[in-house]
């Protein structure tokens, strides 16, 4: 009879401070988070559209607006207008994010973008009934941007975004703006 023994080494480690997170986190494709609804290709399109609607520099890459940028309403942050309340939803629904505080997200453009992708994934999961089967990325964007602005319950409750936002969203999807890559 052969007995196998396993040796386990425990290596103590400190939680990273936010200033080291950008270098410590691998490329987006290697995060231990999977998105069923806002996959990488779709998110790439959606993030440019959200940046077009929410960012102070709509034609610049989303990365040009730091996560710490505070929107005029003082509720949204960064290129996509992400809020602490939305991040609480992300933390509740995606265990990977529980280890990172709001401040960590604000100090890491990579985490900020990933948390927004998670929020888009969750919204799209809940918006399936509002999207026809086989929806184009433009159709997905049109629905997502409304729920992004109004909140899921506001969107489902029939609230409408302001006309100027609707026009800008349509302008984005019909302008022929190239799908950007990050």
Q: Are 43 and 120 spatial neighbours (Cβ–Cβ below 8 Å)?
A: yes
Q: Which two tokens stand for residue 54?
A: 């929410």
Contacts of 126 (CB under 8 A, 6+ apart): 147, 152
Please list the rounded mean pLDDT of every run of 10 residues in the chain (182 residues): 41 38 43 86 96 95 96 95 97 96 97 97 97 95 97 95 95 73 42
Q: What angle do CA 49, 26, 120 make, to 5 degrees?
A: 30
Q: What's the Cα-to-Cα distance from 12 to each of 9, 15, 118, rounded to whole Å?
A: 10, 10, 30
SS3 content of the chain, % helix, strand, coil (to 5): 55, 0, 45
Q: What is the pLDDT of residue 179?
A: 52
Q: Per the confidence metrics, is the pTM higher than 0.95?
A: no
* Radius of gyration for the alpha carbons in the chain, expressed in angstroms and rounded: 19
Exposure on the CB side of residue 25, measured as CA atoms within 13 A: 27
**Domain boundaries defined on the chain:** 35-174
């Amino acid at each position: 009879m052969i007995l196998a023994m396993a040796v386990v080494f425990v290596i103590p480690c400190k939680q990273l401070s936010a200033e080291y997170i950008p270098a410590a986190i691998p490329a987006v494709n290697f995060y231990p988070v999977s998105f069923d609804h806002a996959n990488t290709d779709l998110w790439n399109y959606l993030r440019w559209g959200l940046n077009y609607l929410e960012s102070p520099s709509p034609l610049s890459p989303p990365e040009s607006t730091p996560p710490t940028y505070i929107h005029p309403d003082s509720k949204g942050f960064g290129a996509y207008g992400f809020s602490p309340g939305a991040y609480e939803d992300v933390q509740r629904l995606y265990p990977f994010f529980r280890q990172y505080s709001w401040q960590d997200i604000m100090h890491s453009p990579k985490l900020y973008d990933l948390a927004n992708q998670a929020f888009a994934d969750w919204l799209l999961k809940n918006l399936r009934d509002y999207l026809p089967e086989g929806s184009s990325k433009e159709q997905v964007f049109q629905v997502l941007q409304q729920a992004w602005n109004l909140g899921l319950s506001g969107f489902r409750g029939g609230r409408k975004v302001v006309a100027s936002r609707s026009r800008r969203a349509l302008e984005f999807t019909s302008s022929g703006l190239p799908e950007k890559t990050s």
